[in-house]
Amino acid sequence: MPNLSYHNIIIEKSDSSKEVVVKGEVSNHSDKSYATVAVRIVLFIRNVTVANMVFTINGLSSGATKAFKKTIDDLEYDQVGKDINRFDIYTETAF
């Protein structure tokens, strides 16, 4: 399994739409570079899942840290985004 860590995760309203945006950074602590990293993020309000999706980050070199930004389509910030109180984020696969 890849040795990746996720940090500086922020959940906020998109600048250009009503949707929720997840921003953060991923660091590659391994000796291997990855062309693609598939990341799963699960967002919760209390213990209820409100979003569960996979997105990709391309071009993560060995020893590098890369910023990412993912818009969660069909999840409006004013309706549910402001109430998100927990998230899980982890690597599904990397190659």
Model confidence over 2-27: pLDDT tens digits? 899 999 999 999 999 999 999 999 99
- State the DSSP H helix or E strand holding residue 49, giving kind and residue range, or none if neither: strand 48-60
Model confidence over 40-84: pLDDT tens digits? 999 999 999 999 999 999 999 999 999 999 999 889 999 999 899
Model confidence over 23-45: pLDDT tens digits? 999 999 999 999 999 999 999 99
The strand pairing partners of 40, in sequence order, are 54, 90
Domain 4-94 falls under CATH 3.30.930.10: no
| Overall residue count recorded for the chain in this entry | 95
Terminal CA-CA length for the chain:
10
Task: Give the start-to-end residue ranges of the domains of the chain.
Answer: 4-94
C-alpha distances in Å from residue 36, one per residue of 23, 48, 53, 55: 18, 30, 16, 10
In which residue are the tokens 């998100």 written?
84
pLDDT at 1: 72
